[in-house]
Amino acid sequence: MKKHSHIFASIVKLVGSPYALLLLAPVLFVAFAALFYFEQELNERKQQLYDLRTNAEQILSLDIEATASIRNAAGLASRRYITNYDELIATKSALLAESMMLTNNEAILSTFDELTEARHAIEEIQLEAINLIREKEWEEVVILVTDKSFKRELGLYRAKLSKALRELVFDGEKQAEQTAKMFNIAQISVLSTFLILTIIGFFYSQEMRRSLNHQSTMAANLEDANLNLEQRVQERTKELAQTLSEQEAVLSAIDYGVIFMDADLRTRLINQACMEIWGYDKEYIDSKPTMADLIYKNRYNNIYPVSDENFDAYVVERVKKVQAGTIPPTEVERADGRILRYQNIVLPDGGRMLTYIDVTDTVQAERNLAEKEKHLRAALDNMNGGIIMADSDYKILLLNHQYVELHGFPDDLITVGRSLKDETLYQAKNGEFGPGDPHELAAQAIESWDNSKQMDYERMVHTGRTLRFSGTPMQNGGYTTIVTDITEQKKAATKLQDAFNIISSSIEYSSRIQRSILPDNSILAAVVASHFIIWEPRDVVGGDIYWHGAWGNGCLIILGDCTGHGVPGAFMTLIAIGALERAMSEIDGGEVGKLISRVHQYIQVTLGQHYVGGDSDDGIELGACYFVPEEQEMTFAGARFELFTNKDGILSSVKGTKAGMGYRGIPYTQEYDEQTLEIKPDQQFYMTTDGLVDQVGGERGRMFGKKRFRELLLKISDKPMEEQKEAIYQALLNYQGEKLRRDDIAVIGFRL
């Protein structure tokens, strides 16, 4: 017993010695440094998280707004919708760069790098659309922005961009949460250090008091030593007071509320943040109010969610809970909407430490996220098709009820967490993979799976439905599959194919009729040195037409481009040829301008465009060349048409009148200018419809263009006409590549 008492006395003496304070001094310094560091880091993380969320919303909004500006400009035929397009793209790029600088997550940065090429490709197409808008080529813009491949690439890009931004924000939230945890640990360390210093001070004071009592019994010759000891006690007390002042300063710097209470729940210390949270002033806190007093202080300030008649009972209950002991972190929502994370810690001396952290923004963000997840689930459950998402091990992560219903699966077969292999075995047992052992068939199907590639196929399931499966790999190795019921679509496709066969046979017959009205090329060969004609409708029949033959004392060569292509364009060619033949019977040979004007009038009368109230707004662009073989000059007139001529290696062009023929907006009395050209030996002439120059192709998906056509004509000018024909046609095919043909193609070249 004496041995234990001796050990205890030694411990008390050690704790009450100045060596303990010296030992804790570096610990306190490290704790302060960690506290300040993590406080600054937490504030930076919060700001970064806020910036990330704001940037994510703005990036998606700017992307949608930029696309919408082009679509609106194309749809409404107005350039004013694209005035701020460059600013939108620049802002979006700046926000993307800023957001990427806020993270060091290599996976997320890699995701954004993968999106860069897709974004550049989309912006390049949009810039092309803007150039077409500035040139008022509205039809080309509409074709460009409504292209299915462009819309699909745009949709995939936005989905990937949205996912990447969500991952970026989630990464920011994780970093902020980790920093907050470290900050809380630092705070607890500082408070623990303060508490230890207070305890050491207490024992130190007790030790000093015992020393003074002992010294008072000593002889007078030790009085000077006693005075020195008292002075040391005063200095130490001053140091403790200074330490307490520093503790109060640290508490004031903490951005969450802290209250220290004694065992009677009377306030000993409260920091500035807590006073701001609860609306206390320093004068009131200096009065050392009890916990009940603190609650009553805000009785009528819309703080506590309790009625006035129940307030007294509410206070009693709160006090009892604090007296009962430690309360783990608990979220409390005040009547004014603020949400606090409240915690009660029992101190060694029987007192209490209460902390209040304002988590309103965090909780609200969590609620918003939960609401968005709820909306996503509602969207999945209300979409027309089925969807399923699995990880790299084929474990189901997400699916909707339509997926189960379309396959006719039992409700308990396909659920989150189960393997897709169970689904495959069920399908094999129901004969969806053909005859044979179901387990072997299922194993073969599973072995053929490849999560790294997209897939798109159709299959009939055991319920008799025909389903289309579209699968897309995910970055984490998983796979997403969308299932669509195309049973009715298949039936409709069969009916459509029958109708198509009937229509196709009719169009084939129409093609023979259209070709029958084209002139015999031997007639033109008799009056020119050499020539070629390229005439290739985009469809079976087309809207481009050529004509040549005798007129008056000379020869007339015409190339025209009617409105539209296919069957509508073919009808327009019949109307145009009929109008031409009637006009040639009325107009004297050689008066090309009058001839075109008369054709224009016949087209307008035929289509009812010469009076108010007609429906048609169709017409033709046309170029006409007239020459007498024995004479050295040629007359050209064009309706929105151009004649190219190559003389001595110099390519020039002769432009016609800017008005077309027909069309509602062109006057009935429209006149077309004639231009007379001097013919030189071996001179070459070319006319082309816009089908060739407007054809999209090449690496960048742009139009062939007049510049490329002019360069081609110069390059092949030394070749015979028949070889020039092959060169022009092959150049068109090479440039077009895998792109679809946009329009009919017609080119005439001749040498006089």
Residue with tokens 């007239």: 626
Count the residues in the chain.
752
Q: Give the whole-angstrom CA distance, residue 750 versus residue 29.
A: 96
Write the CB contacts of 202 (distance below 8 Å, at least 6 apart in sequence): none
Quick one: DSSP state of residue 1?
-
* Residues whose CB is less than 8 angstroms from the CB of residue 465 and which lie 6 or more positions away in sequence, other chains included: 406, 408, 485, 487
Please report the pLDDT score of residue 5 as a whole number. Answer: 54
Spatial separation of the C-alpha atoms in residues 717 and 403, rounded to whole Å:
63
Q: What is the C-alpha to C-alpha distance for residues 526 and 519, in angstroms, rounded to an integer?
A: 13
So what's the pLDDT on residue 43?
Answer: 78
- Structure token pair of residue 506: 């009719």
Per DSSP, 677 falls in state E
Contact at 8 Å (CB) between 169 and 45?
A: no
Per-residue pLDDT at 209:
73
Q: What is the pTM of this model?
A: 0.40
> What is the identity of the amino acid at 317?
E
Q: Which of 304, 265, 266, 311 is nearest to 285 (CA)?
A: 266
Q: Tokens representing 727?
A: 């060169």
SS3 353: strand
- Residue 567: the pLDDT is 87
In the block, tokens 């993380």 appear at 45
β strands within 404-465, DSSP E: 455-460
Using 70 as the pLDDT threshold, list the residues of the chain that sit under it. 1-25, 28-29, 31, 35, 38, 42, 49, 197, 201, 203-208, 211-212, 214-226, 229, 233, 237, 240-241, 243-244, 246-250, 252, 379, 504, 506, 510
Amino acid identity at 33: A
Check residue 698 and give its pLDDT.
92
